[in-house]
Amino acid sequence: MTKNHGKQIKDDAKYEALRREGYSKEKSARIANTPDSGKKGGKSTALDERSKTELLAEAKKIGIKGRHKMTKESLIKAIRA
């Protein structure tokens, strides 16, 4: 069970996990108080959520050959490779 660190810490569980990993109190508090600190990446959507047309455009941008014959799953694998 997590300890209540008062209203200055928004996510007590995350704060305690960071402290156990060796982060300082200040850095742990800063991360625990950031609402989207658990999310990765920028504004791009996950490859699985994109349409085949969007995947084809991405494959073209990075130069994948034979992309028009690929299935959506094959495009995702090729882009990740």
Q: What is the pLDDT of residue 48?
A: 87
Top pLDDT among 3 and 15 is at: 15
The pLDDT assigned to 39 comes to: 60
Query: From CA 34, how far away is CA 22, in angstroms rounded?
Result: 18
Gap between the Cα atoms of 78 and 55, Å rounded: 10
Note if the pTM is more than 0.85: no
Inter-residue contact 72 to 80 (CB < 8 Å): no
pLDDT digits (tens, 9 = 90+) for 45-75: 688 889 999 999 999 998 999 999 999 999 9
